[in-house]
Amino acid sequence: MAMLRHKVTSLDGTVTTPRGFRAAGIHCGIKPEKPDLALIVSDAPAVAAGTFTQIKTRSAPVIINEMKLKAGRAQAVVINSGNANAATGARGFADAGAMTAAVAQALGIGDDLVLGTSTGVIGRPLPIDKITAAAPALVAALGPDGMTAARAMITTDAFTKTAAAEVDLGNAVVKIGGIAKGAGMIHPNMATMIAVITTDAAVELSMLRTAARAAVNKSFNCISVDGDTSTSDSVFVLANGASGGPSITVEDDRYAAFVAGLTDVAGRLARLIVQDGEGTTRLIEITVHGARSDAEARLAGRTVMTSMLVKTMFYGAELNWGRITAAVGRSGADVDPDRLAIAIGDVWVVKNGVGVPAVYAEAEPLLREKEIRVTIDLGLGQGTFTGWTNDLGETYVKINSGYLT
């Protein structure tokens, strides 16, 4: 049987771009003025999967969502911003339950179909009475504009983050849309921030779980702003089948196309998060190749991405490539100094482990660009990794030394 030809087209869109999804965002009083309560709803129960932070101090909503998603079904995701409902003890679990129960009642569906998550300051009890009182108004505000939810879920973000894609599966055209928030406490660890991704594709549960992990590992797990992973990191993927196409399975030749579309949306959201990193002036793409394995390439790349010295080098637009060399050397990946090469853009400033002064003048202007590509060649094998990070300057310190105020 001939293989179907598939095509992924990037779109401007949100969680309501796929058929059968509505969204809302309102102000309920957690923040002084800005929208702080978001809701995404599928018209029918959807197959659902998620990835979550792996740190030990996970928030109550993360733990509850993991339990709910064992059934693999959800119809709504409610998100509050301004308060993380983390490190809040038994009350945190009770408040998380009350939030989803209030939304479920307003929607007229079971609480088991409502996922809830929170983002903001850690350690403060959730003002749950404000949230539950606002649930009817939140549901009444549901409509086709996904930007309302995107605005209500952000905290220190400078802008909203949205993306969408259309995937031609040969016998059906499906859409995928997403919204995300994140600017600080961003570092790869299963899921890094909060994102909701929707699709009108019909997808088997095992396939959706596999696809979600694959997409997250090539997107959200490949970014870092400050090396800090949050208590609330979550990525939700809901597939409601509203496109009417046949269900996709892992054995299906359409699986790769669906994963490509999912990765396209997740990757664009992930890069927007890095671009919006607190105090960021530059987006930096780090590519490592020539490693012994992909795992070793990831080790080297992540170490470079999280090096404070490397990040401040980019902030100052200095060609202090020795900081990259040092980060690679301490990463734990196998490194032969005599084979190491480093490029800024297409300019190889290091070859065979030593600098190439003749090209420095060509490379230095590239460090002042808003987007910078760095390639590191270890010269040892076929392992590769690509990740995204940002520079780090005084503004990050100012934001995070006055976060509570």
Question: 341 and 300 in one domain?
Answer: yes
Question: 18 and 111 in one domain?
Answer: yes
What is the pTM assigned to this prediction?
A: 0.88
Determine the Cα–Cα distance for residues 185 and 226; give it in Å rounded to an integer: 6
Question: 314 and 243 in one domain?
Answer: no
Question: 290 and 259 in one domain?
Answer: no
Average pLDDT of span 90-113: 98
Retrieve residue 268's tokens.
């664009």
Kindly report, residue by residue over 54-84, the tens digit of the pLDDT.
Answer: 788 889 999 999 999 999 999 999 999 999 9
Let me know if 9 is a catalytic residue.
Answer: no
pLDDT score recorded for residue 3:
45
Question: 47 and 74 in one domain?
Answer: yes
Kindly report, residue by residue over 257-285, the tens digit of the pLDDT.
Answer: 999 999 999 999 999 988 877 677 899 99
User: DSSP letter string over 112-167?
Assistant: GGEEEEEEEESSSPP-HHHHHHHHHHHHHT-BS-THHHHHHT-SS-SS-EEEEEEE
* CATH number, position 356: 3.10.20.340
* CATH number, position 219: 3.60.70.12
Question: 254 and 206 in one domain?
Answer: yes
Choose one of 275, 304, 319: the last residue of a domain: 275
* Residue 26 identity: I
Q: State what percent of residues in the chain have pLDDT above 90.
A: 78
pLDDT band at 229 (very low <50, low <70, confident <90, very high): low
Q: Is the pLDDT of residue 196 over 70?
A: yes
Q: Is the pLDDT of residue 188 over 70?
A: no
Question: 220 and 259 in one domain?
Answer: yes
Question: 207 and 114 in one domain?
Answer: yes
The residue with greater pLDDT, 393 or 222, is 222
Q: Which of 53, 162, 192, 325 is catalytic?
A: 192
Give me the chain's average pLDDT, please.
Answer: 91
Which helix (H) or strand (E) segment is 209 a member of?
Answer: helix 205-217
Kindly report, residue by residue over 32-49, the tens digit of the pLDDT.
Answer: 999 999 999 999 999 999
Tell me whether residue 2 is in a domain: no
Q: Which domain holds residue 70?
A: 7-275
